[in-house]
Every structure is written in structure tokens, then in C-alpha cells.
Chain A
Amino acid sequence: MYSYDQYDTQLVNERVAQFRDQVQRRLDGRLSEEEFRPLRLLNGLYLQLHAYMLRVAVPYGTLSSAQLRMLAQIARRYDRGYGHFTTRQNIQYNWTKLEDAPDILADLASVEMHAIQTSGNTIRNTTSDPYAGVAAEELEDPRVYCEIIRQWSTLHPEFTFLPRKFKIAVTASPNDRAAVKVHDIGIAIRKNAEGETGFEILVGGGLGRTPMVGKTIRDFLPKEHLLSYLEAILRVYNLNGRRDNKYKARIKILVHDLGTDAFREQVDAEWENLRGKGPELPPAEMERIRAFFAPPEYEKPGSNHQDYIEKLRTNAGFAEWVRANVVEHKQNGYAIVNISLKPEGGIPGDATAVQMDSVADLAEKYSMAEIRVTHQQNLVLPNVRQADLFVMWEELRNQGLATNNIGLISDIIACPGLDYCGLATARSIPVAQRISTRFADLKRQHDLGELQLKISGCINACGHHHVGHIGILGVDRNNEEYYQITLGGRADENAAIGKIIGRAFSSDDVVDAVETVVNTYVDQRQDDERFIDTYERIGPKPFKEALYDAA
């Protein structure tokens, strides 16, 4: 893992002191709310429906056990004993107080964390593959570049007041688990014909009011040019992105209005000025950062490996959990373990302080003290010996953390919605809970197979509903909650925006509607088709008929 050098430490500590002073000046009246609001937002502090909400950055979703323990402690000391992991691999606290915020930030700084640029029209936390560094099929660890981008973008003076927020994601795997095609900039590490690794650069993807799939503007960018090229893109956007209309201010609108080719030309022209002169990446610096992410010393699979095989054979519950939640590791004898934060009827992404502490302990015992947060709002232990899986599973079960539903219909992404969020038009969480309860039967879920269901409480689409195989968007109709269903979205390497299937359903009817959609799939599927395969083969018509014709 990366660890702070003197510059990081100084910067974060100075920021805490600065914010402490700003909060004090707000409380004693030297700053008005108008003056203070942008300052608190630059530190991740929102004023939501019921309280201040603090969003803490988890850089590219990687946490140490010590950091996760601190997140638990903050939940206990300053909040109500829980936190909410978000679709941007961050964590939010829903019940913080303004007067506590400086102390929380100081506690975070003590474990090399902060809330800088988790809000505002800035470059946000760079997200990545939760299996980075351990996935069997990846080219190299993408977090090296995420960290480089983090350093470059943190408090970048030129990009502190962009037209709108800006999100970058990096993947190094052909199976895209970082949704790079729906980010402002998506970076995919690729090999060229000469066998060198570099970057494919996509721009203009995004969800929200105008969902779009990103366009490739460069097939292969040599590594040393990463920052100068990103800077060129950001400059073109900063200059030409619209500032007159918040809903048209994201880079996707600029790319769309200009056309991909014209946008690329502008970037290339800017890049001509920057290349070699702007921020480039000297190989020594790249190597310095890479060293932080060097693979740990893995053990050879020992004799107790046989026990693992035996347990798989004899314990059906364990075998099912392994099948659903455990993923192949690049290292023989090791495994990647997903910890579902989607228990039956639970709140997607919520974890209590007790659970955070126990995951931190388990990581320390079994996963080299490292944890990942996924954009699916789950946690991952990336480095577990197969021989330890069984004992770990038993410990997870004791904490209610062994739900074996990764990738299944109850592994729902849901934004906070109207239960917490000031921008929401409808609730998301209760719908997620009811769907999770309706499909509680795990046998049925496994029979249904991979099915990504995503719920947003408003058109801002924090719950990624546009790219759910089944997406649900909450809308307000004369002060009543209605839910619009979209089908056929996907967030992977074949990213697609789902299509609205028809008129919206009332809160009472939406769960039945989801079940109708699912049953239609079951009726129509061939062989071992997944939901999305069936939908892509037969199209929306049978689903539409099932949903609306009977009525």
C-alpha cells in the first residue's frame, strides 16, 4: 500500500488546521453560510436532510486494517455506530456534527486519510478495480497510476473550480470491474502490438440526467505521458465545458456537442504544448510509486491445502459461499474474498462499527492487513490463503457477514435516496430491502444467476440505475413515490445504458414488477444464459408484455 511521505502528511495536516479555523470562524460569526458552504464542501462535509454528512475518500478503494479500525472508531465516537460505503468506493457518515468535523478530519489524518475533494467541482477520488493487484487476468496493478493521479490532482490549483465534478477510473483487466466506460475519464491499461503496456483513454462517459458511454480518444498512450495527456483533457474541459447550466456542465456534454473527433483534436493541440514540458512521469518516480504496490511474499500452498479441498467437498454451506463470494487469485493457493454488505433485508453498503472492526481484524489475521471497498458497496479481502478460508468463513458467519450473494439479485446497489439525501425524489433503501426480502431464497437467487439490480433515488443516478441489468429510478408524482424500471444496462467492458421499459410503478407495485421481469427471464432463457444475455437476445418486448398487457 502507498504510505504518505512528508509532503502528503504536511498537506493533510495543514488542511485539517485550516478547516478547524474555518469552522471556528463560522461558529463565531466571522464567516457567513454563503462564505462557508464552499469551504466545507471542499472538505467533504454536506448538509443533508437530517444532519451533516461527511464523505471520506478511500483512495481507489484500498484500506489497511488500521484505517478501517479508525473508520469504525469515527462511526462510534462521532456518528451513530455505522457508516455507508458508496458506489465511489468511499465511506459516508450520515450523522456528523459541524463542531466535530475538524476532530474527525484530524483522526483521519492520523491514519493517512482525508475528505479532500470528495465534493465540489473538483477531480474526485480516482476509483479502480477492487481486485487490483491480485486479479488473475490483469496486466499490472492499476493502483500505481491511481496513486499518481491522486498526487497530481490533489489541490491542483488549475482544476479546483471545474465546470462540474470530475471522476476518473482505472482498470488493468479485460474484465472491467471499475466501470471505466461510465466515467468522465476512463483509463484502461492495455498492451500494444509491440507488447508494451500503456493506456487506452476514454472520455465523456457518465450517468446522471444524460447517461452516456465513454468514447475512446486514444488507443494507446505511452505511460510517461499519462499526466500531460490528462492535463490536456482537463484544460480543454475547464476552458470549454459549459458553466451556464449545471445539467450540461459535465465533460460528456462537451464531448457529445463537439463530437469525439473534434474533441480529440482540441486535446491533441493542447497536448502538443504540454508534452515534454508539462507534468510528465519520469521512470524513477513511476518506480518509486510502484514499489509501494509490490506484491507481498506469497507462501507456497502447503499440505493443509488438502483440508480446504476436503471442506469444500463435505460442507455444502461453505462450498456455496466459496462459489458465490470467492474469486480466483493470481497466486496459486490464495483467494480473493468478497464480503457482502447486502444481508437479507439490510441496507446496501451499511456497516456497523463492530463489523468494520471485525473485518479489520480478519484482514489482519488472514489478508495481510488489507481491505478493498468495491463500487458494488461490498468489501474485499484480497490476499487470503485458501487454507484459511474455512475458519474465516466461520468467523464471518458469526458477524453476519457471510451472505453468499455476490453478483446475485440481492447484491443490490442503492444510493441513500430520500431517507438521507437532500436531492432525492424518492426513497431507494426500502425498495432495496423489499426486493432483497422477496428474493431471500438463496437457492432461487443462485438459479437466477448473475443479475445486477441498481436503484437511484433521483436522476443524479448515484445508484447507477442506468447500468443495472435491472435499473430502478425513484421519481416523485404529486408527492408520491413512483419507480421507473430500465432494462438492459451494463457497467462492464460492454457498457450499455438501460432502456425505460414503460410507465412507472407505485411503491406498492414495484417489487411485483421486478418479479415479473425476473420470471419473464426465467421463462425465456436458454441453456445457461444470464439475465442480460436473454434480454439482449429477445429485447424488451416480452418484458413489456408481461408487465403491462395483463393489466
Chain B
Amino acid sequence: MSHQVVTASRLRDGRAVYLTAGKTWSEKIAGSLVAATEDDSNAMLADAQEAADARIVVDPYLVDVTLDDALPTPVTMREKMRATGPSVTYSATQSEYRQVA
């Protein structure tokens, strides 16, 4: 079996997040827990489902990854894009972005 990580969208802000070893959720795929066996995958998905029931995340699912120096990289284009964020610099003036509290 290929390696897998668990991803989901965070309920409050919809950000793509990944299940970590500490059963927390990280926006970075680098920090995710990697399953090497089907049993691992199932156990991780069960943990993720608990987080969905607890309204932390939405729609968790498994993502196939390859390991590159222990760094998980998704196989599909779609999951690559979710992991890295848009490949484009949004708007010519990205630097204008400021979060107003």
C-alpha cells in the first residue's frame, strides 16, 4: 500500500488541514501523521471522524502520498494544490493584503 495522510477542511474557516501525530490538525502537510498500513489508515480515519463529530473539521478523508525524505507529497494534482495553496500570486498587489481585526 502507498503511504497515506488524513486531510479535512477546518469547520470554522474551511482551511485545508492535516491530522498530526498528536491528534491535532495542522495547515502544513509536513507535520502530518503518515500511515504505512491499512490498519494505520483506518485508525487515523477513525480519529479524524471523532474530530468531525466534535465539529473541528468537515469531511475527513485519506490522501495517497509519496515520501520524499520523510516529507509527504500528495500524488494527485488536486491534493498537491490543497497542500501547497494556490500556485498563483493572487492579485498583482498581494502585498496590500492586511487582515483587519
Contact = CB atoms under 8 A, between A and B. Distances in A.
B88 A47 contact: no
A98 B9 CA distance: 11
Contacts of B90: 80, 82, 94, 347, 350
Interface string A402-438: 0000000000000000111010111101100100000
A98 B11 CA distance: 7
A51 interface: yes
Contacts of A97: 12-14
A29 interface: yes
A353 interface: yes
Contacts, number: 96
Contact of B77 (A50, A81, A426): A426
Interface string B1-15: 000000001011111
A77 interface: yes
A278 interface: no
A74 to B, nearest CB: 11
A346 interface: yes
A224 interface: no
The dominant DSSP class at the B interface is loop
Given A98-B11, A354-B93, A481 B77 contact: yes
Contacts of B88: 347, 419, 429-430, 433
Interface in A113-171: none
A221 B99 CA distance: 52
Given A76-B98, A80-B97, A476-B77, A419 B91 contact: no
A352 B92 CA distance: 8
Contact of A51 (B14, B91, B94, B98): B14
Interface in B1-56: 9, 11-16, 52, 55
B67 interface: no
Interface in A480-524: 480-481
A510 to B, nearest CB: 15
Interface in B67-88: 75-78, 81-82, 85-88
Interface in A1-55: 26-27, 29, 33, 47-52
Nearest to A400: B92
B12 to A, nearest CB: 5
A343 interface: yes
B14 A48 contact: yes
A478 to B, nearest CB: 10
Given A479-B76, A480-B77, A49 B91 contact: no
A99 interface: yes
Instruction: Count chain B CB atoms within 10 A of each CB in A29, A82, A343 and give the residue with the most.
Output: A82
Contacts of A481: 77
B86 A81 contact: no
A456 B24 CA distance: 36
B9 A47 contact: yes
Interface in A85-104: 94, 96-99
A480 B77 CA distance: 7
A99 B9 contact: no
B96 A81 contact: yes
A401 B100 CA distance: 25
Contact of B96 (A48, A50, A352, A424): A352
A188 to B, nearest CB: 36
A33 B91 contact: no
A68 B9 CA distance: 30
Contacts of A418: 77-78, 81
A250 B14 CA distance: 29
B13 A99 contact: yes
Given A347-B90, A419-B87, A99 B12 contact: yes
Given A94-B90, A479-B76, A27 B55 contact: yes
Interface in A271-308: none
Given A33-B58, A82-B91, A51 B97 contact: no
A34 B76 CA distance: 26
Contacts of B91: 81-82, 347, 350-352
Contact of B13 (A76, A98, A347): A98
A87 to B, nearest CB: 18
A343 B89 CA distance: 14
A430 B87 contact: yes
Given A77-B100, A352-B96, A27 B86 contact: no
Contact of B52 (A33, A346, A347, A426): A33
9 contacts: A27-B55, A51-B15, A52-B14, A98-B11, A99-B12, A99-B13, A343-B92, A347-B88, A353-B96
Given A47-B58, A350-B90, A352-B92, 15 more contacts: A33-B58, A47-B14, A50-B82, A51-B14, A80-B90, A82-B90, A94-B90, A98-B12, A98-B13, A98-B14, A99-B12, A352-B93, A424-B78, A480-B77, A481-B77
Interface of A: 26-27, 29, 33, 47-52, 76-77, 80-82, 94, 96-99, 343, 346-347, 350-354, 400, 418-420, 422, 424-427, 429-430, 433, 476, 479-481
> What 10 A-B pairs are tightest by C-beta distance, nearest first?
A52-B14, A419-B86, A97-B13, A81-B97, A82-B91, A51-B14, A80-B97, A429-B88, A77-B100, A352-B91
